Structure 1
Amino acid sequence: MADYHRGELAVQHRAGLRDPAAGSLRAIRDAVPDAAAVFLARQPMIVVGAADASGRLWSTLLTGEPGLLGVPDPRTLTVAALPADDDPLGAVLREPGTRVGMIAIEPATRRRIRLNGTSVPEGEGVRVALDQVIGNCPKYLQKRQYALLPPDRTGRRAAVRRGDALTTVQRLTLATSDSFFIATASPDGDADASHRGGNPGFLQVLSPTRLRWPDYPGNAMFLTLGNLELHPQAGLLVPDWETGDLLQLSGTAHTDWDGGRAAAVPGAQRIVEFRIEAVQETRDAVRLRWSDPDFSRFNPPVAPG
């Protein structure tokens, strides 16, 4: 049986939950159900979060034709892709024993599933021994249809830009985003990846090195905030659904529990602030392209300014 670590329990208690483990722990499995295996087999992408060799957390996106993800047995996931060599996780996903947190989403149906475990390289991809398989609610996920561009046979390398703060264009990208992914980890190094979504503007850019977003009501497990309670490192991934660009951020995050500040943001139960320490932007990083969004009916309005 899965159990919550002390950071998750502390956040659940502070959020006012009583006996939270009684029901929600049943959503955490150690194997992939048959229906989830069918779901995974038709996905063209998966988000992967992990720590790089220095311990800094990042998220990245692996993509391919449906069949990219396989479930050879209920406790194993295979991913038939690796990041580019210059991706922040390119090196560690080519090494055995990397603890990874993953989330597969299907925007067309608003379904998603999280899978956490330990990866080893296998051919042109990875094999992951799973520890946790977690179903997630569909709230705040925008509906989109995808198209997969043909492979680029020219050998052209994607343009990469690195820094320690956001450019003006990157700030605009974030301020108009409706989705991002966040990787966190427990103090023991167990990684997790999750999705955050809302109407454009829900992700606030306070400065070139500071972001803020509302924590909306979810599944009340608090896996992300529980990790941050004990281990503030985090890695954000913001895909450009139209161009295939990826914006990857690494830094630290903390939860602001001030009720007054949360009350000023529609739908927020609390606020999360993120301080940027490293930025990587990769142009035309993936072959996926997505349609304009059909916004979730659960998205709260965004306050002006």
Structure 2
Amino acid sequence: MSSKFAFHAGERAVQSRAGEAMIADRNFAVMSDTVLPGARTFIEKQSMVAVACVDAAGKSWASLIFGKPGFLSTPNGTSIRIALTSNQREPSDPVWEHLHIDSRLGLLFIELGTRRRYRVNGTVTSIDEAAVEVAIAEAYPNCPKYIQRRHLRSQHELATHPAQKAGQALTASLADVIRQADTLFIASNHVEGHLDASHRGGAPGFIAFINNDTLRIPDYQGNSLFNTLGNLHLNPQCGLVIPDFAGNQLLHLNGRAVLHWDIADEAGLSGGTHRFWDFHIDAWRLRELPLSLEWEYLDASPFNPSVAI
């Protein structure tokens, strides 16, 4: 592992508990503070980026930001430019609501149609009417597992102002969105490390209901870095965003996570790890997107474990 980068105490604790510290050290060799040349072209092709931010109260929020290909760029590989004008930034999006100079951001560039993804963590250095600049602290590729392939066939701006709702207790319609979901993104952070935007996917139903305000998500086998679980080990506060691809809306959830190890799992819901985390919901926000997005579902990840019937 490069001396320039280091795991924080939470990541190390989880890696050791999982017995994967040596694998983590080996996989950490891909870490850099510069985007690889091949990944620069990949980033510039994207129409979507998952974003993690923190508000003034220290709460993490996850969101998805969309734009025409080219709105994301990294000309020199040391910074990310998000070229959305102030009029294109939806004020109800928690990212735009809480963004300021020196904000820490976690960025996950993910191309659902090819299952490619690339992660960047950094700090906002500039915000103006035309764009946001993010200085890169960490950049590295992620594995393609558990991503359901979708192709974004078209997008165009809506003529009407998008609606939003908010609350604390889940409604029946929100529960339906969660039950049908095969994709979510989680924002987690700790003061010892960088803000992290991470993907979780599985067959519809992989997000289970414990009760009306608690969800249970399996932790499948990944790259052994345990960035997300390491953050949650030290700071359980986190945020989720669940895309409703058919309804053209995003469900933001804010709450606290509790990690569970060595859970009996006869049905194989965790894919053999016996790890789960419960998400206790404190608040939700449902937002219609300011763009009309038409998605074509292609296929599910061949790595998805089974779900409870």
Which shows bigger deviation, 37-46 or 182-191? 182-191
Residue 89 of structure 1 aligns to a residue whose secondary structure is helix
CA shift in 2, pair 1:83/1:257, >3 Å: farther
Read off the aligned partner of 1:303 and give its amino acid letter.
A
8 A Cα contact 1:63 1:287, kept in partner: no
CA shift in 2, pair 1:206/1:97, >3 Å: same
The residue that corresponds to 1:278 in the other structure is: 283
Cα separation, 1, equivalents of 2:108 and 2:143: 12
Residue 114 of structure 2 aligns to a residue whose secondary structure is coil
Which shows bigger deviation, 12-21 or 69-78? 12-21
List aligned pairs for 1:284-303, cutoff 5 A.
Answer: 284-303=289-308
2:105 is aligned with 1:92: no
1:68 pairs with 62, 67, 71, which one? 71
2:142 is aligned with 1:136: yes
1:25 pairs with 28, 51, 59, which one? 28
CA shift in 2, pair 1:163/1:124, >3 Å: farther
**Identity of paired residues, percent?**
38
1:170 pairs with 146, 167, 174, which one? 174
8 A Cα contact 1:239 1:245, kept in partner: yes
List aligned pairs for 1:41-190, cutoff 5 A.
Answer: 41-81=44-84, 83-93=89-99, 95-119=100-124, 120-152=126-158, 154=159, 156-188=160-192, 190=194
Cα-to-partner distance string for 1:234-291 (whole Å, 9 max, x where unaligned): 1101111123201001111121013325875251410011011110001244433211
Read off the aligned partner of 1:61 and give its amino acid letter.
L
1:201 pairs with 205, 220, 223, which one? 205
Cα-to-partner distance string for 1:141-179 (whole Å, 9 max, x where unaligned): 011110232223x3x221110001211111111011100
What 5-or-longer segments of structure 1 have no aligned partner? none
CA shift in 2, pair 1:205/1:23, >3 Å: same
Residue 259 of structure 1 aligns to a residue whose secondary structure is coil
CA shift in 2, pair 1:217/1:17, >3 Å: same
Cα separation, 1, equivalents of 2:73 and 2:169: 37
Shift of 1:217: 0.5
TM-score in terms of structure 1 length:
0.93
What 5-or-longer segments of structure 2 have no aligned partner? none
Read off the aligned partner of 2:264 and give its amino acid letter.
G
Aligned residues: 301
Read off the aligned partner of 1:229 and give its amino acid letter.
H
Tell me how large the CA RMSD over aligned residues is: 1.7
Read off the aligned partner of 1:9 and give its amino acid letter.
R
